[in-house]
Amino acid sequence: MTNSIEITKAKTSKIQDVDFENLSFGKIFTDHMFTCDFKNGEWQKPEITPYAPLTLDPSARVFHYGQAVFEGMKAYKDDAGKIWLFRPEDNLARINKSAERLAMPAFPHDLFMEGLKKLINIDEDWVKPGFGNSLYIRPFVIATEPAIAASPALEYKFLIICSPAQSYYSGDVRVLVAEQFSRSANGGVGFAKAAGNYAAQFYPTSLANQEGFQQIIWTDADTHEYLEEAGTMNVFFRINDTLITAPTSERILDGITRKSIIQIAKDADINVEIRPIKVSEIVEASKNGSLKEIFGSGTAAVVSPISAFSHKGELFEVPKQDDKYSDKFKNLLNGIQYNTLEDPYGWRQSI
Amino acid sequence: MTNSIEITKAKTSKIQDVDFENLSFGKIFTDHMFTCDFKNGEWQKPEITPYAPLTLDPSARVFHYGQAVFEGMKAYKDDAGKIWLFRPEDNLARINKSAERLAMPAFPHDLFMEGLKKLINIDEDWVKPGFGNSLYIRPFVIATEPAIAASPALEYKFLIICSPAQSYYSGDVRVLVAEQFSRSANGGVGFAKAAGNYAAQFYPTSLANQEGFQQIIWTDADTHEYLEEAGTMNVFFRINDTLITAPTSERILDGITRKSIIQIAKDADINVEIRPIKVSEIVEASKNGSLKEIFGSGTAAVVSPISAFSHKGELFEVPKQDDKYSDKFKNLLNGIQYNTLEDPYGWRQSI
């Protein structure tokens, strides 16, 4: 790496104004941010600066054509005060994969890792210890070129901003199985963390919210017969003692929590099936009592048990389970993330 | 309308620096812009101000989740110096339809029309007379709320910016019929001018560009057997003397130029078929000589003849035609737009 990161520290910290016991997700940001501009075909001087508004021309491409990708990741503090990241290189690989699909430039590995770690070190007081507490990290890239031609921008900004977080979901999560709306098409951008994939879910999800469901489980756009993902989570089904999840595809996000769970499950000798899942199969399993669990997985939610799903107007409750896979996976993942358990996988990285 | 528009004029104009004979599309903007913020559940005081950068928090929803919609429209100046708009209310209706699908608030009709006309009046010197010259107008709405929760924003900004334009396309337009990538899904947001729909096309289109094609004609994501739209244009096919275009759907934009052409064609006693079109039908028509024309329609392009298409590696040239429908439609539309012909439809509006 040729460019060293120029660091300008905030004169004062906002941290004393923050109520860390009552955080809304993603509303409060730490004192600093990492930024790096792309122009003239290359990434320019990287900077860590006080968290501050961006100044962009109204014609900046991101406002018009949604040329923007992002990642979600977390930093965890152990009881000794040491801070850990979870598979951060996988986030970089994925943001670059997302960027490629949106005709955006890749961000360099070493610069990402260095910027990320320096930023978190500077704002280390914002990472609170204790299960559930974390620093949510949002790397993102936006097209900044001031011109509204419908073509890939020549200028971009890569940023990392950080927000202190508690557990993302609380209480029962009830989901609606999509029957009308869709999240992604074959040959589309569903596998990418492309900004536009998320706005497209807001309206159907708000309709579901009005019916008392927190999330939608998306189905294939062609037939609505196959279960895919929940938009902010991948989804797992436990039928008897078999764990089933849909294969990743160009429509489904390659979730880092998802693949970690698959690995943990296999190593615990749980039978894992990665294959297309029909809605009818889960309805049938619910009716005959073999459906034991449904849960979502994602960085924000970690593991999020789903207590009921609705399909074609019929509500299916998932029975309470004593020895839940979701608890096992959450405990193992949290143990690795918070450095209270061995990490046989090398997923944990100190900063 | 309760709020009157607060107008702050630019101290100096940039217009003398502009080479109106050599304009790149969408790079130069006029001296003023119209803006209106949405917060606390309603649209706030509308303003016309000097064109200037926007200041947004890095956590503004638009950067992360692509909650943004836009429109494209034009103002035309006739030889007497009078300025005309073309079906502007249809643009407002469509941006509000797009906004609804992205869980964004509708913008009020009267405020839109007043803001639009006042803005163009103030920047009237930027509208140059003569066929091909126009003022490209870009209304758009972005989610500005500074919080990265994956849910609809509570704060938005509506803007209108304007850019002087010459003809959009020049030379031959050759298109690639999509066989792998897709633009939109059933139940998705393809019908909306949602920002994310455009970024998603950049990568496949850049691959097509490398093969010598300017645009992609998108096909249905399921089978790639049906022709849909070109991403920035709707598409028409002329087989013998019949004009065929795909029906609008949740995947296809309800183009204002498209529906104007359909109306003009019907009134000229041209047989118009609005129905699904198989790629195989057009390939067959090309082979047997009955394919007379292909052209795209859109605000930026108006009517854009397509000289060849490629499908499964085979190139099909569209034969040169003396008495082209596309010329007829372009001349009629331009005549209405530039006030050189009667407008029996009431499409033209003076400002």
Q: Does the beta-carbon distance from A161 to B59 stay under 8 Å?
A: yes
What would you measure as the largest C-alpha separation in chain A, in angstroms?
A: 63
Q: Does the beta-carbon distance from A57 to B58 stay under 8 Å?
A: no
pLDDT for residue B170: 59
d(Cα B304, Cα A52) in Å, to the nearest integer? 44
- Under CATH, to which class is B173-337 assigned? alpha beta
Closest CA to A150 of B205, B180, B159, B95: B205
Q: What is the 3-state secondary structure (H, E, C) of B8-38?
A: CCCCCCCHHHCCCCCCCCCCCCCCEEEEEEE
In B, which residues are within 8 Å of A27 by CB distance? 59, 146-147, 149
Token pair for residue B51?
A: 């064109």
- Average pLDDT over all residues of chain A: 96
Q: Is the pLDDT assigned to residue A267 strictly greater than 70?
A: yes
Q: Is the pLDDT assigned to residue A1 strictly greater than 50?
A: no
Chain A residue with CA closest to B184: the answer is A185
- Average pLDDT over all residues of chain B: 96
Q: Does the beta-carbon distance from B66 to A197 stay under 8 Å?
A: yes
pLDDT for residue A167: 78
Burial group, residue A7, by CB count within 10 angstroms (0-12, 13-18, 19+) = middle
- Domain boundaries of chain B, sorted by first residue: 6-165, 173-337
Candidates B119, B137, B170, B189: best to mutate against A (most CBs of A within 10 A) is: B189
Give the DSSP H/E element, type plus range, for residue A98.
Answer: helix A88-101
Q: Which of A59, A197, A206 lies at the smallest CB-CB distance from B196?
A: A197
Give this complex's ipTM: 0.97
Q: What is the pLDDT of residues B160-170, one digit of tens each?
A: 999 999 976 55
Candidates A186, A197, A205, A252: best to mutate against B (most CBs of B within 10 A) is: A186
In A, which residues are within 8 Å of B54 by CB distance? 55-58
State which amino acid sits at residue A87.
Answer: R
Q: Is the pLDDT assigned to residue A2 strictly greater than 70?
A: no
Q: Does the beta-carbon distance from A53 to B51 stay under 8 Å?
A: no
**What is chain B's percent helix, strand, coil content, to nearest 5?**
25, 30, 45
In B, which residues are within 8 Å of A183 by CB distance? 185, 188
Q: Is the pLDDT assigned to residue B1 strictly greater than 50?
A: no
Q: Does the beta-carbon distance from A182 to B180 stay under 8 Å?
A: no
Q: What is the pLDDT of residues B58-82, one digit of tens each?
A: 999 999 999 999 999 999 999 999 9
Percent of residues, chain B, with pLDDT higher than 90: 95
Q: Is the pLDDT assigned to residue A287 strictly greater than 50?
A: yes
Q: Which of A178, A206, A222 lies at the smallest CB-CB distance from B103?
A: A206
In B, which residues are within 8 Å of A24 by CB distance? 147, 149
Q: What is the pLDDT of residues A294-330, one digit of tens each?
A: 999 999 878 999 999 999 999 999 999 899 999 999 9
Q: What is the pLDDT of residues B252-304, one digit of tens each?
A: 999 999 999 999 999 999 999 999 999 999 999 999 999 999 999 999 878 99
CATH code matching the domain that covers A6-165, chosen among 3.40.50.11540, 3.30.565.10, 3.30.470.10, 3.10.20.30: 3.30.470.10
